[in-house]
Structure formats: structure tokens, C-alpha cells
Structure 1
Amino acid sequence: MNALLPRPRSSPAPGAVHVPGWLDLDRQRELVAACREWARGPVPMRHTRLPRGGVMSVQTVCVGWHWRPYAYSRTAPDVNGARVAAFPSWLAELGRAAVADAYQDPAAGASYAPDTALVNFYDGAAAMGMHQDKDERANAPVVSLSIGDTCVFRFGNPDTRTRPYTDVLLESGDLFVFGGPSRYAYHGVPKVHPGTADPATGLTAGRLNLTLRTTGLPG
């Protein structure tokens, strides 16, 4: 978190790439404004309730498809029954640019076709346990964008929630892409560092994480 020290891109696992500072301030502000609009509805941001009765500490709003454990739908039967906001073409273009840059492969970017985004908001006390993103029917990479407070992102392996894993500091503007052999790697956020957000992003506290995915679902 020292701005004087360079943060080189890295690959903590095959198919997983961390690109520090990928989003400039203007794009971060645009994304914060868009997330605020989505958070108001038509399906508002909420704490997702898990099947066994637990409630996630992060708050989530969905775009394109509504996610609930462990399925996608166009409407949100677990919230208010409304249809979720449409997935905008500009966000798909951003996802394609992210994949092309992360993998340094224009063809990989051109073929990327995300159709949903999960937007998670972490306050200073929120965390995310180790889990796999496996409710999609497509094996396309997941694109993760971070804005606001720095977090510890724990990136593991496809076989177990435990070690081996790598802890990566994700700062505001960072890009993380995981696909290929790491598409179903367990990952989580054990800690957020409150007070590290740059107010210039338009987010004065907390962390926004946008994850773009390809559901593989028809329609």
C-alpha cells in the first residue's frame, strides 16, 4: 500500500493474473456511479441469505442475471421478484479489454462474452469465505475489479479450501482475472483494510468488487 513502491503484475497460479492499477481514476469514478445506480434497483443491493439460514456479511447487487445460492435467474425471487438491471454493452467491452490485457492475448479478449456481473460491497468488517465460482455453465474466465479499500484476496487451488494458497493485496483500481486451470480455484477475502480508500474514486469508505462472468445460460 506504499504508492512509492512499484507493484508489478503477477500470476499466483496458472491462468490467474493480477494487474495492479489497471483502472484509472476516471474509470473508477464511472464504475462507482454505475454501482450506486444498480444498488438502488430494480433489485436493490442486499445481504444474501444462504440456504442454511446464514447471511453474508457483504452486500450484493446483480446485473444481467440475478445470482442466489446456487443458481442464476432473470428475476430475483429471494428479494422482490423484479427483473434485474440489464448487462450493459460498455461493461462487456471493459471485460474483453481486461482479459486481453491480463493474458496479453487480443484473441482471448475478443472471444470473451460476459453476460452478468456480481457487485459486492465490503464495509470494514465484511469478509468472504473460501469458495468456488461454479454456478456458471461456461468455463470462461472471471474478471474481478476492485475499487476503494485495499483487501487481502486469498487465491487457492481447485481441490481444497486450505493450502496451498497465495494472499494478494488488491488495491483500488486493480484487476484480477482467473481462468483456465485456475477457473475453479477456491478464493476469498479474509480481511479488508478500512481507511485505505481514495476519496477521489467517489467511494470514501469500503470496498467495491465487480466480478464479470459468462453464465452460459440461454437468453
Structure 2
Amino acid sequence: MVAEDEQGLWEELDRLCDIAVNAHEEKQEFLEALLDPDGCAPLSPLARTLQDARDPGLNTGTFMVTVDGLSECAEILLGTGQASFAARTRLMENILTHLSGSLKQKSGRAGILCLLAANADPEISRRFAAVDAGLYPRLMDSIIKTDKQTQVSSYTPGTALPGDHALNPYERARVEGAMHALLKNCPFTCMPIPLNDASETTVADLLKKVFYQTTCKGLWLIRNHS
């Protein structure tokens, strides 16, 4: 994705949504050809057994378009400093809102259903980072995250915040939860739990607070003995 300013960003996002919807439309056409009950395609016999009105059809299918490296996108446009953190999170939410609306409009015209989701596969984040680092080395040097142990570069998966942000666990869940509310899948927030320093009651109270006071859809608790 290439955008020099915020207006260019919205235009580029719309262009990418067009590509995603077109790709899913082609995928649906391919699957329909495979499932032609009147033909000799590989899945035609299966299709003939699923012609009951109660059986699901391709027209009821849902296609997902996933977001990755959203935090780095905001850093490119607004900088990496703590002073711009609030502005970056607002931009991240605005991007998700724009993408969701654009996908709804474009997929509706195509007659399919495309929903916005967040990538949760770290390998995909690493692959995207490697590609972009080769294309834009100077830009990427300042924002791509590198694992201290493996020295492997990666984007921050999905819509998550980088792990080095100075946020307590509740604040991380609150900020990321605001973005979870704009997604249709079930993303999660990674939450280190210092088991040596926190009692079971403290951890339970934190989880209840996250559940009742944020829109965080899921937690991935990570043991942290430091």
C-alpha cells in the first residue's frame, strides 16, 4: 500500500477493497463451477446431494478480508512517538471504519458478503514485513518490529498494538477492544500476566474488569515470570 497523505490513504484503501472483493467474486465463481449439480465437475456429485432447500448454498457464504500491521500504518502517517499515540489509535479506528464501509458497499454491488477481520497469524505478518522491507527499506527500518531473540522482522499482527507500548494490561485491552468492536471476527488481545507478582484474585479482578468495561472480544494470556 502506498499513500503520501490521509486523503491518499482513503483512496488507496478503496482501491485495495476493490481488489479484495474482485478476488472473492472470482473465488465464488470458481466454487460455483466446482459445485455445478448439472455438470461433471469434481464436486458435482456432492452438489447433487445438497440440493435440499435447507442445505447451505454459496449465496449464503461469507468472505473475510483481514487487516494486518494496522499499528505500523498509523506510525508511518503520524510518527512513532508517545505524543502521537492517541492520534494514531483514532486513525486506526477510522481506517477500520472506512474499510468496513467500503467492503460493505463494494461487496453488496458484487452480490457477495465480505466482512472485515484481523489477521492472527504471525507468519503472515512476518511475510508482509519482509516484502515491504525489500520495497521500502528506509521507511520500514523505522517502523518494522524485530524480535530480540530471533532477529526476525514482523508487522504487529492484525489490529494489535506493539508489545513495547507502555500500557498496563487493562488499558491495552480497552484500546484494542475499541478496534475489536469494528471487526466481524473474534480478535484477541495478548496480555502478559506476571504470575510471580499477582495473586489469583488480582488476575480474576482484572479479567472481570476487561469483560465488563471494555469491548475486547478475546484475551490471550501469556505467562510472564519476570
Name the TM-score class by shorter chain.
Answer: under 0.3
Q: Which has the higher contact order (CA 8 A, sep 6+)?
A: 1
More helix by share: 2
More strand by share: 1
TM-score where L is the length of structure 2: 0.24
| Larger gyration radius, structure 1 or structure 2 | 2
TM-score where L is the length of structure 1: 0.24
